[in-house]
Structure formats: structure tokens, C-alpha cells
């Protein structure tokens, strides 16, 4: 349900840097976010803030909230349109898709 670095299948960094979040900076992609990256348990804005602070702060290349969410949505579009997810789907339904540091599928 997002984008973040991982050390292994079960280990990943969290809250790596102190980042600030402003939903206003997401305005150019807000409709895409509401459509493809929404929360079923809380306000979308709270969910996005959590995702950016927990995972976006750990990206190898420092990214603004707009860059982080826009890149993730672009990757999502490729995963869906090219059916990349089929290659990585586990029997339990989990899908972990490895990307290089320049966001290319491995």
C-alpha cells in the first residue's frame, strides 16, 4: 500500500528523518490520491501524513511529499498497466515489488 525501502522481506526503516507534511503541496495530484491511495479507517490526509512521515522520510533520495506521492502513483500505474504485480504475488496475497534506487523494477 505504499513505497518504502526494505532491508529484507520483514525489515524496513521507519521515521528516518524529521519531515514536515502539508496536504496543500499534494493539490496537483489530490484526485489521483483520493482514487488510488485512500484510507478506509481515517481521514485520507491523516493517512498520507503518516505514510510520508513513516516511510517517505526513509527514501534514499530526499523527496518532498509531492515527489514521494507522485512517484508512488506513477509506479502504481506501471504496476497495474503492465501487470507487474502478477510476477510478485505471494500465495498469501502479499505483493512486494523490488525496485532499484532509481525506481526501476528489478
Active site residues: 1, 51, 55
Residue 20 Ramachandran class (φ > 0 left, ψ -120 to 50 alpha, else beta) = beta
**How far apart, in Å, are the Cα atoms of 78 and each of 20, 31, 39, 57, 97?**
28, 18, 21, 23, 12
Among candidates 66, 65, 59, 64, which has minimal Cα distance to 103?
A: 59
Strand segments (E) across 1-106: none
Amino acid at each position: 500500500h505504499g513505497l518504502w525501502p526494505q532491508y529484507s522481506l520483514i525489515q524496513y526503516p521507519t521515521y528516518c528523518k524529521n519531515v514536515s507534511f502539508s496536504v496543500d503541496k499534494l493539490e496537483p495530484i489530490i484526485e489521483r490520491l483520493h482514487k488510488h491511495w485512500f484510507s478506509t479507517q481515517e481521514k485520507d490526509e491523516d493517512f498520507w501524513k503518516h505514510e510520508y512521515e513513516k516511510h517517505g522520510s526513509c527514501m534514499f533520495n530526499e523527496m518532498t511529499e509531492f515527489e514521494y506521492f507522485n512517484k508512488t502513483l506513477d509506479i502504481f500505474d506501471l504496476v497495474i498497466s503492465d501487470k507487474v504485480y502478477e510476477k510478485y504475488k505471494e500465495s498469501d496475497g502479499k505483493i512486494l515489488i523490488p525496485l532499484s534506487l532509481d525506481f526501476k523494477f528489478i
